């Protein structure tokens, strides 16, 4: 059994009118089965209102299932006596960096979790130092959070979670309010945690570029899991993703369009390098002219092309 497991998880929001009468019931999460193994990097994708955040809040026992069950490291989230163990083992990072930093100084905020857990003072300091170093924010330990950029604040939030020594971290759209640079910083920090510390990561996002490094991807739609597989498997189904109103990374889209027009490319190309390699192979493999003069494979519009290669260093 994996570290996070859900079985036929259902969660319903009850909408009420002003008098408190039930107006209707919305099923935010609908019979979701999830099994995440220790050390995995799992991404959950979905457009707004697909139920991905609601699902995330179940893992940290902030919400409780209407039907079905959630287990974190073998503990049922509905078992109140284990509540604090669950919250310690499954740390959570939220979307808005300003609304989750409690301390007035970076190091105090990182120490907040361990303080709540009753960790002795000297160990708190050791944990704070180690977590700030893990996200590369140690030099900023004396700063006021108000003076940091969005990406830095989000890294402080992540450090605050690491200081509790969790087995897994759930990140609920941690990059949604950040600029591209901040997004890169955060994704890099998250990947390092997974690679170096072996912490299980559940990354919830709607930015496709961020899921390329995941082991497994779940795509949610209307509360259900609509697709699952490796990033490559997911991205090879461009039409299906479009149906689910998700943006495919530009490189993948370009490769897909080229393939549709007759260029012999493999499925699910994820990075610019891969596309360049595949294209060179095609070019050398066929006796040149064929590819270039084929009217169906004319150069894509200029703008797209420069974008594609601009993306090269992105992730």
Asked if residue 92 binds another protein (CB under 8 A), the reply is yes
CB of 76 to another protein, least distance (A): 18
Residues 263-282 that bind another protein (CB under 8 A): none
Q: Which helix (DSSP H) or strand (DSSP E) does residue 105 occupy?
A: none
| The one among 26, 37, 49, 88 contacting another protein by CB under 8 A | 88
Helices (H), the chain: 52-59, 83-89, 106-117, 121-134, 150-162, 180-192, 231-235, 238-243, 250-260, 272-285, 290-293, 302-310
Determine contact, residues 200/191, Cβ cutoff 8 Å.
no
Select 59 or 238, whichever has its Cβ closest to another protein.
59
CB of 216 to another protein, least distance (A): 24
Determine contact, residues 32/6, Cβ cutoff 8 Å.
yes
Select 87 or 206, whichever has its Cβ closest to another protein.
87
Q: Which of 68, 61, 248 is nearest to 170 (CA)?
A: 61
| The one among 13, 112, 138, 143 contacting another protein by CB under 8 A | 112
Q: Which helix (DSSP H) or strand (DSSP E) does residue 249 occupy?
A: none
Determine contact, residues 212/271, Cβ cutoff 8 Å.
yes
CB of 39 to another protein, least distance (A): 22
Asked if residue 128 binds another protein (CB under 8 A), the reply is yes
Asked if residue 108 binds another protein (CB under 8 A), the reply is yes
Binding mask 60-79 for another protein (x = CB under 8 A): x-x-----------------
Alpha-carbon distance of 67 to 31, in angstroms, equals 8
Select 65 or 268, whichever has its Cβ closest to another protein.
65
Cα angle 179, 182, 183; round to 5: 85
Asked if residue 102 binds another protein (CB under 8 A), the reply is yes
CB of 104 to another protein, least distance (A): 5
Kindly indicate which of the ranges 11-19, 22-30, 132-140, 142-150 contains the residues binding another protein, using the contact rule CB under 8 A: 142-150
CB of 197 to another protein, least distance (A): 18
Alpha-carbon distance of 157 to 82, in angstroms, equals 24
Q: Which helix (DSSP H) or strand (DSSP E) does residue 267 occupy?
A: none
Site for another protein, rule CB under 8 A: 60, 62, 84, 87-88, 91-92, 94, 96, 98-105, 107-108, 111-121, 124-125, 128, 145-147, 160-161, 164
């Amino acid at each position: 059994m994996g570290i996070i497991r859900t079985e036929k998880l259902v969660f319903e929001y009850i909408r009420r009118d002003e008098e408190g009468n039930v107006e209707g019931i919305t099923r935010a999460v609908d019979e979701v089965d999830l099994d995440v193994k220790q050390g995995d990097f799992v991404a959950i994708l979905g457009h707004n209102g697909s139920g991905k955040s609601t699902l995330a809040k179940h893992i940290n026992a902030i919400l409780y299932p209407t039907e079905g069950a959630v287990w974190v490291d073998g503990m049922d989230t509905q078992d109140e006596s284990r509540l604090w163990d669950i919250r310690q083992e499954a740390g959570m990072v939220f979307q808005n960096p300003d609304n989750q930093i409690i301390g007035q100084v970076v190091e105090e905020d990182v120490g907040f979790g361990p303080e709540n857990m009753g960790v002795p003072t000297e160990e708190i300091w050791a944990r704070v130092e180690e977590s700030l170093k893990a996200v590369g924010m140690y030099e900023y330990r004396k700063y006021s959070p108000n003076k940091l950029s969005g990406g830095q604040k989000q890294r402080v939030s992540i450090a605050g979670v690491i200081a509790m020594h969790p087995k897994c971290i759930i990140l609920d759209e941690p990059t949604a309010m950040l600029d591209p640079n901040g997004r890169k910083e955060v994704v890099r920090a998250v990947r390092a945690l997974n690679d170096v510390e072996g912490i299980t990561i559940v990354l919830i996002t709607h930015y496709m570029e961020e899921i390329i490094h995941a082991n497994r991807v779940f795509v949610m739609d209307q509360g259900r899991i609509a697709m699952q597989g490796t990033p490559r498997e997911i991205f090879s189904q461009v039409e299906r993703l479009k149906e689910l109103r998700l943006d495919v990374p530009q490189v993948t889209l370009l490769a897909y369009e080229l393939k549709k027009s007759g260029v012999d490319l493999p499925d699910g190309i994820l990075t610019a390098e891969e596309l360049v390699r595949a294209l060179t192979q095609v070019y050398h493999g066929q006796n040149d002219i064929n590819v270039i003069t084929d009217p169906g494979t004319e150069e894509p519009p200029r703008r797209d092309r420069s974008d594609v290669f601009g993306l090269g260093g992105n992730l």
